[in-house]
Structure 1
Amino acid sequence: MPMFQIGERQIDYSLRRSAKATRASITVTPGSFELLVPEQATDDQIQAVLRRRRAWILETVCAMQERAKAQARVYRFATGAKVPYRGQMTRMTVEPFDGTLVEVSFRNGFMIRMPRDLPEDEADGVIESALRLWLRRRIRDDAKEFVQRHGARNGLKPKGIQIKEQKHMWGSCGKDRQIHLNWHLIFAPRPVLEYAVVHELCHLRHRNHAPEFWSLVASIVPDWEARKSWLDENEHLLGWERLQTA
């Protein structure tokens, strides 16, 4: 990955060309950024964009790194640990049992049953994997529920729903009418997830963000702006960081 030098700071970035892009755009993450340019953009034009936006890039990367520090940190997947779920920090209880696979359920908190003979040095990784799988299944169920609630009656019928690990997007709607959702949306309140699903459903009719698109969104979720604002302001909280102990 190339590096972009700003003063004494070096920032990782990636360059992506697209035949669909009409102008340059930059997507920033806590440690890097992606520069999207039209397919025919020259090296001089690309460098001009980077020079023009260098101060903004540095400020935004630093701001996102500070915000990322607020993300939930998990040292051990054990009783008492908390992870985000539907907009709240949620406690987990871990109990040993005589089964062979980790079992996850939810009753006012995560209830996790762990095989009694699971080696201690493997427990955290196995529990985390099981919890992630449970959450991905949960968001798929929630998304299907929202599609059933809002899709057919508004003439918006997707071919299917796929739950993915998307780096820069909360969702997308392909030309094949498949809706893709970032699984991290399970960490947001259900109304925010509902907005994300409706947003992609509306792209089945309007492929851009023209006024007609937002009018359709508003006809289904009138308070969409508040839901979108929550997502914009709290995206750095949607997930957890597993910290390794020495």
Structure 2
Amino acid sequence: MAVYRIGSQDIEYTLRRSLRARKASLSVTPKSFELLVPEAATDEQISAVLDRRRAWIIETVQHMAERARAQTRVYQFVTGAKIPYRGRMTRLTIEPFDGSLVEVSFRNGFQIRKPADLSPESSDTIIESALRLWLKRRVRDDARAFIDRHGERHGLKPRSVQIKDQKHLWGSCGKDRRINLNWHLVFAPVPVLEYAVVHEMCHLKYRNHEPRFWDLVGRVLPDWEARKQWLDNNENFLGWETLKVS
């Protein structure tokens, strides 16, 4: 991460250099902002861009901090606790059983069975781990379904799709035609997840966010702007923060 200092505050941001970029551009990522610059950009040119956009950076960082404070907080993984899932707050039901591993299923809410002999000290950590694994598998399966739905018809078939815990991106598309997706997209409504998948699929053909790229996104998903707007407005909803009870 690069650092931009405003007064006494150090603000981290992602700096990306690109051979294709003709000029510098700033964009917001889930928990930071990103500066894309031409490959040959000097430190002085980068500093000049940041200084010109100082007011935007301050406003953006404040906005992201407000959203972080609004994020869902989970104190214990017990019956009645809620987490976001597919755009809605969803209730957990925890039941002990005779098995040796935590089991997660979904039926009008999360049904979680935990080993009856699981110690209270380790219960939350083990349940949370099992729940995260279940959610990652679900977003992977959904992503593959969207690729099957749109890929062949539009000539946008990636080599593979991987689900990752990305801190600053919703997704990425490598030159090797492999798509990476942030597993937190499982918390968004299904159409929003579909938009994120299609977005990365379209990068298989156009690497930058040029007009031709957005034209292609629109041919695949005519209402992509509304889906993108939901994602831009609801980063704080896409996940949870685990807090320990003192």
What is the SS of the residue equivalent to 1:212? Answer: helix
Shift of 1:231: 0.9
CA contact (8 A) 2:166 2:182 kept: yes
> More displaced, 64-73 or 16-25?
16-25
CA contact (8 A) 1:29 1:64 kept: no
- Cα 1:159/1:17, change in 2 over 3 Å: closer
- Cα 1:20/1:168, change in 2 over 3 Å: farther
RMSD between aligned residues: 2.2
* Number of the residue aligned with 2:161: 161
> More displaced, 79-88 or 67-76?
67-76
Q: Calculate the TM-score normalised by the size of structure 1.
A: 0.89
Shift of 1:155: 2.3
- How many residue pairs match? The answer is 246
What is the SS of the residue equivalent to 1:151? Answer: helix
Structure 1 gaps, min length 5: none
Matched, 1:240 2:240: yes
* Number of the residue aligned with 2:147: 147
Shift of 1:33: 4.8
Shift of 1:17: 4.4
CA contact (8 A) 1:30 1:61 kept: no
* Number of the residue aligned with 2:137: 137
- Cα 1:216/1:53, change in 2 over 3 Å: closer
CA contact (8 A) 1:24 1:49 kept: yes
What is the SS of the residue equivalent to 2:95? Answer: strand
- Cα 1:124/1:141, change in 2 over 3 Å: same
1:76 maps to amino acid: Q
* Number of the residue aligned with 1:80: 80
* Number of the residue aligned with 2:123: 123
Identity of aligned residues (%): 68
Distance 1:12 1:151 in 2: 36
CA contact (8 A) 1:139 1:186 kept: yes
Q: Calculate the TM-score normalised by the size of structure 2.
A: 0.89
Distance 2:220 2:21 in 1: 29
What is the SS of the residue equivalent to 1:205? Answer: coil
Structure 2 gaps, min length 5: none
Distance 1:12 1:213 in 2: 29
